C-alpha cells in the first residue's frame, strides 16, 4: 500500500487561487458600494427636485387659498356682511366659508384655511412719507390702556441704529445727511368714540414726531397721550427695531395717521386693554392663514389684508388740494353774498394769463 505525502510545495499549489478570489471579492464589494452610492445620490437629487417642484405647487396653492378667501371677504364687506372668524380647518363660519373649493387639481389643494378678523397685531410692510390711516378699534369693546408701535428697517442694514440721533432736540437734518437706518415716525392720534364735534376733534388730536434715538436706554420713554400735547419723543432703538409705547389711553376707538420721514419702515402695532390683557383690533386688518398641499409637501403662509376689502379705501389724502402747476384761489364777499368760484374766463378773471 502506497501512502501519499502532503508536501509544502503541494499545499502552495493548492492555495494559489485564494488571493485572486479575495481580490475579486473585495473589488466586487467596492464596486457595489460605489454603484449603491451613486444610486442613492441620484435618488436623493431626484427627490430634492421633486420636493422643490411640489413645494412651489404647495406655495401657489396656499396663495390661491388666500386669494379665494380675500375675494369672499371683499364680496361680503361690499354687501355689508360681517366677516366671521375661522378658527379651525373644518370650521365653516356658519357656512360663510363653505363655498371654498379647496381642491385645485387631483394632488394639489389648500388643505387648511384660518381667518382672524380681530388680530392682536397689525402689520404694515411699508410706511412711507404718504400718510396711512389706521383704525384702532378694540375688538373686546373695552378701552385701550396702551398702544405699542414697533419699527423695523427696510434698508437691509445690519446696524441701522448707527447714525441715529443722540438727542431729541427737535432739530431735523436735511434728507441728504440723514444716516440712520430708521425714519422719523410722525403720527396723528385722535379718539373718535361717541359724538365728536369739529372742535372736539381739533382739541383732542395729538401729533407726535417719534425720533429713532440711540442709545436706547436714554430715550424719552413712553408718550402719555392723556396728559401730553404735541411733542418730539425719542424711540427706544436697537440694531433690530425701534419701539414707542403710547399710554394713558382712555377710549376703545382711535384713528391714527402714520408717516415715515427720511426712510421707509415696516411697522407692527400691538396693544393692551384696560385689564392689562393683549388687545385685539377690529376694522383694520384681517389675518388669513393658508396651508397649501402638493402630494406630501406642505407650505403655510400668513397674510394681513385690509379689513375694508380695499387697501386704498381708508387712505385719506395728506392734503386738500394737489397740483403740478400753480393754483389760484378767488373769493368774493359782501353783505349777504358770498362767492367762491371764479368768473367766466376773460371776464376780469384774475387767475387767467
**pLDDT tens track for 52-66:** 888 999 999 999 999
Q: Is the pLDDT of residue 311 over 60?
A: no
Q: Which residues contact 277 (CB under 8 A, 6 or more apart)?
A: none
Q: For position 342, what pLDDT does the model report?
A: 46
Which cell is 127 given? Answer: 410706511
Residue 261, pLDDT > 80, answer yes
pLDDT exceeds cutoff 60 at 243: yes
Q: Domain 120-279: which CATH class? A: mainly beta
pLDDT for residue 312:
46
pLDDT over threshold 50, residue 78: yes
What is the C-alpha radius of gyration for the chain, rounded to an integer number of angstroms? 35
97-132 confidence digits (pLDDT tens)? 998 989 998 899 999 999 999 999 999 998 998 889
Lowest mean pLDDT among 117-121, 156-160, 292-296: 156-160
3 state DSSP class of 19: helix
pTM assigned to the model: 0.75
**Locus of grid cell 408718550:** 223
- Asked if residue 336 has pLDDT above 70, the reply is no
* pLDDT value at residue 14: 59
* Residues 6+ away with beta carbon under 8 Å from 158: 239
CA-CA distance, 327 to 322, in Å (whole number)? 9
Distance from C-alpha of 312 to C-alpha of 333, rounded to nearest angstrom: 38
Q: Are 292 and 54 in contact (CB under 8 A)?
A: no
What would the DSSP string read from start to end of 94-123?
TTTTTT---BSSSSEEEEEEEEESS-S-EE
Averaged pLDDT for residues 76-97? 90
Residues in contact with 127: Cβ distance below 8 Å, sequence separation at least 6, in sequence order = 183, 185, 258, 259, 260, 264, 265, 266, 267
Angle (CA) 78-79-83 rounded to 5° is 85
Amino acid at each position: 500500500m502506497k501512502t501519499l505525502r502532503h508536501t509544502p510545495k503541494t499545499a502552495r499549489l493548492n492555495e494559489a487561487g485564494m488571493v485572486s478570489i479575495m481580490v475579486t471579492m473585495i473589488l466586487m464589494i467596492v464596486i457595489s458600494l460605489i454603484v449603491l452610492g451613486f444610486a442613492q445620490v441620484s435618488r436623493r437629487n431626484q427627490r430634492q427636485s421633486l420636493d422643490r417642484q411640489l413645494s412651489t405647487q404647495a406655495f401657489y396653492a396656499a396663495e390661491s387659498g388666500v386669494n379665494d378667501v380675500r375675494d369672499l371677504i371683499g364680496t361680503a364687506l361690499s354687501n355689508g356682511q360681517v366677516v366671521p372668524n375661522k378658527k379651525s380647518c373644518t370650521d365653516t363660519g356658519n357656512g360663510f366659508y363653505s363655498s371654498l373649493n379647496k381642491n385645485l387639481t387631483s394632488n394639489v389643494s389648500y388643505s387648511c384655511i384660518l381667518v382672524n378678523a380681530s388680530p392682536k397685531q397689525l402689520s404694515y410692510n411699508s410706511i412711507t412719507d404718504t400718510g396711512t390711516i389706521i383704525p384702532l378699534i378694540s375688538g373686546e369693546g373695552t378701552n385701550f390702556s396702551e398702544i405699542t408701535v414697533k419699527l423695523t428697517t427696510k434698508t437691509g442694514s445690519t446696524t441701522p441704529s448707527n447714525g441715529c440721533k443722540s438727542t431729541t432736540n427737535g432739530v431735523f437734518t436735511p434728507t441728504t445727511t440723514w444716516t440712520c437706518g430708521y425714519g422719523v415716525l410722525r403720527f396723528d392720534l385722535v379718539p373718535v368714540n361717541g359724538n365728536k364735534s369739529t372742535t372736539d376733534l381739533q382739541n383732542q388730536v395729538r401729533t407726535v414726531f417719534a425720533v429713532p434715538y440711540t442709545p436706547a436706554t436714554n430715550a424719552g420713554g413712553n408718550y402719555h397721550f392723556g396728559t401730553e400735547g404735541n411733542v418730539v419723543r425719542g424711540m427706544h432703538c436697537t440694531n433690530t427695531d425701534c419701539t414707542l409705547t403710547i399710554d394713558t389711553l382712555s377710549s376703545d376707538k382711535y384713528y391714527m395717521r402714520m408717516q415715515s420721514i427720511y426712510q421707509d419702515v415696516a411697522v407692527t402695532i400691538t396693544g393692551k386693554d384696560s385689564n392689562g390683557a393683549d388687545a385685539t383690533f377690529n376694522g383694520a386688518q384681517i389675518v388669513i392663514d393658508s396651508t397649501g398641499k402638493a402630494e406630501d409637501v406642505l407650505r403655510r403662509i400668513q397674510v394681513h389684508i385690509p379689513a375694508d376689502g380695499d387697501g386704498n379705501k381708508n387712505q385719506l389724502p395728506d392734503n386738500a388740494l394737489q397740483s403740478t402747476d400753480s393754483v389760484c384761489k378767488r373769493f368774493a364777499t359782501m353783505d349777504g353774498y358770498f362767492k367762491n368760484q371764479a368768473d367766466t374766463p376773460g371776464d376780469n378773471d384774475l387767475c387767467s394769463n
